[in-house]
Structure 1
Amino acid sequence: MKVIYLLPFTGLSQAALRFGCASVSLQRLDPLVEPGKIPSAHVHQIVGGNAFNATMEGDIGEKGTCTTCVYSEDFSNYWTAVMYFRHENGSYKRVPQYPNAQLGTEGRDDRNIKGGMTIYYTQKDFSSNGDQFITAFQPGFRMTVGSPTVDSFEGAKSQPGLRYTCLQTPLTRGYETPDFPREPCPGGIMAIHHFPACWDGKNLDSPDHQSHMYSTTKGGFVEAGACPDSHPVRTPQLAYETMWNTTAFNNMWPRDGSQPFVWSYMDSKGYGTHADYVFGWKGDSLQRAMNDTCMFHGCGSPGVQGVLKTQTVAEMNACAVRNTVTEDTEGWLDALPGQGM
């Protein structure tokens, strides 16, 4: 799928977005890597618009009727694999997610967001908006980052945007590692996914869902490097943070000290962490935000007249997708869904 990139006529971009999205679905569907396959190979946790389904074609922003994201014009879908705890007896239990404690805003209790993730669209870093024009993603755009086939520490280390933090409290932001933490974490595990921000300016997708993009990310929300000539168009630096509440399992840590958490595709090291994105912002709403001078809550929140419209936490939590795949993903399981014994 190709589009023609036109040089912008507006000024430089100066916005940064950070917002929560509640869970919209948790099931075995993967419309990018396994389109149309019901069920897909492993369980995913999805946030965003309720147009999410097994195929996801066309302009997703025009197909949804509600979204689980704070910004009510964002019908995009964002998803990752699901984290499970593996007990010494061989059974598995899904690790719940909890909302980012740093999202609290006056007039909206973000602590009541139902699971989900924190989504970032940044341009430079957390202290400056940068001086480049940022081109918003286009209708039909999609991409992935990471791969479940990565199975070595060196392979994981070579992707600086994919990391974990062992949280000491829900508010801490400590050092990052390319593999799962190897000891119980007092505040849970935060999984971090930074996407590439250099686009070829032509293709909305590619066969591997990655080649139309080029990563210059350095991780840790540090300003990314310059884009190469092959991928000259700077897009927002998209990132996910998922807070996994592993604390309920800290007293069940294996007696031999082995790391007990696994991704839903049976990855016990964390090397193959990956994430998917399908653009679905309504109209020109994301470009409007990228052209604005706002940062974070200043782009729109209760009591703040921003460039973007917001909705209540109750409205976010009420949006959901009916499961196409019916199976137990919640209780103590003898095997991970789709992964056999």
Structure 2
Amino acid sequence: MFAKAIPVLGLILASALIGSVDAFWRMNCAVIQTGRVDPIVNPGKLAAHAHTIIGASNIGVNATHDSLLNSACTSCEITADKSAYWTPLLYYEHANGSFEEVPHAGSVVYYLGRGANRANIQPFPKGFMMLSGNSALRSYDNTTMTYSNSQYKGRPIADRVSFNCLDVAPMAEQPWMFNTSCRNGMRAQIHFQSCWNGVDLYKSDNSHVAYMSAIDDGICPPTHPVQLVHLFIETLYSVSSIVTSDGGKFVFSQGDPTGYGFHGDFQNGWDMDVQTVAVQNWV
């Protein structure tokens, strides 16, 4: 079982639930860098907007799997994972037009054993990259759906993004920044695609990957038959630390004041032997 592999691999195990319940691990990751860096969408040049990056210290505009793996350190708790993960910076735009960065300490990254085909989950291959979300969205898209069939119902792909306002009273999560007056922070959450075509490590239109029917569970489309680990990232923004009495607004770095355009990127930098053993021993 996965838990037995932990002493050998030196991984930090948050939970390993075996049997009919999903197996998973999670890790806390501090911020390693912020800036206009996006080696997936804008390789070799400045990105269109600023990101907050967690993971490998070697992250840069020309990052590759090998360069990430050769990083001196990682800001994540599992040292065998030299991957890079990034999301857009969140700012507060004051009424006078100035911008103030909203602080956050990093993200929590989940590796989940999800899907109807979870017994055949594969590790992320060497050189694999993907992004989830659409930075240009400013409204909820209820027409673009995941794959479905007679047994497994589809779901709007827009549900890959959600926000949770951590206040005194619990609030239902929403796919947009519905409330930014959150005493204990506003948490942005994103699910990644778990279905792969088995051929391409990356395609610029992201067509090498697809979401499961329920996004965080379900089946993969026939065009993307390889079941990958389900990746989920949470980022908690300290919105309560910002003085908002001037009537400004919160906005993500790509100019999005709604949150519908929240997105995340993943570039695999795992020690492949470690990742493979970890995944193979949790199902």
TM score, norm. by length of structure 2: 0.81
Match of 1:138 in 2: 125
Trace 1:38-117 onto structure 2 (pairs within 5 A). Answer: 39-97=46-104, 115-117=105-107
SS in 2 for 1:205: coil
1:270 and 1:216 map into 2 onto residues whose CA distance is 22
Compute the displacement of 1:58 (Å).
4.3
Query: Once the 2 structures are TM-superposed, how far is the Cα of residue 165 of structure 1 from its aligned partner?
Result: 0.8
Aligned to 2:140: 153
- Post-superposition offset of 1:285: 1.1
**In structure 2, how many angstroms separate the alpha carbons of the residues matched to 1:216 and 1:130?**
10
CA distance in 2 between counterparts of 1:33 and 1:131 reads 30
Among 257, 265, 280, the alignment partner of 2:254 is 265
Give the 3-state SS of the residue equivalent to 2:158 in structure 1.
Answer: coil
Matches within 5 A, 1:219-234: 223-234=216-227
Aligned residue number for residue 214 of structure 2 = 218
Distance 1:117 1:168 in 2: 19
Q: Distance in 1 between matches of 2:47 and 2:77?
A: 28
Match of 1:32, as an amino acid? I
Letter in 2 for 1:179: W
From 203, 206, 219, the equivalent of 1:206 is 203
Partners of 1:30 and 1:224 in 2: CA distance? 28
SS at match of 2:141: helix
- Separation in 2, partners of 1:24, 1:290: 26
Q: Which residue of 2 aligns with 1:339?
A: none
Quote how far apart the aligned CAs of 1:164 are: 0.8
1:150 maps to amino acid = L
The verdict on how the C-alpha distance between 1:60 and 1:215 changes in structure 2, with shifts beyond 3 A counting, is farther
Distance, in Å, in 2 between the alignment partners of 1:116 and 1:50 is: 14
Percentage of matched positions with identical amino acids: 32
What are the ranges of 5 or more consecutive residues in structure 1 without an aligned counterpart? 1-11, 98-114, 295-341
Normalised TM-score (structure 1)? 0.68
Given the alignment of the two structures, is residue 119 of structure 1 paired with residue 120 of structure 2, yes or no? no
Give the total of aligned pairs.
252
Contact kept? 2:68, 2:84, Cα under 8 Å: no
Distance in 2, Cα, partners of 1:119 & 1:279: 13
2:32 is the counterpart of 1:24: yes
RMSD: 2.6
Alpha-carbon offset, residue 254 of structure 1: 4.9
Counterpart in 2 of 1:252? 244
| SS of residue in 2 equivalent to 1:176 | coil
SS of equivalent to 1:238: strand
Unaligned ranges ≥5, structure 2: 1-18, 145-155
Is the strand fraction higher in 1 or 2? 2
Q: Is the CA contact 1:194–1:217 (under 8 Å) kept in the aligned structure 2? A: no
Question: What is residue 163 of structure 1 aligned with on the other side?
Answer: 162
Paired amino acid for 2:161: L
Question: Aligned to 1:286, which of 257, 275, 279?
Answer: 275
Q: Closer, same or farther in 2 for the Cα pair 1:252/1:77, shift >3 Å?
A: same
How much does 1:117 deviate? 0.6
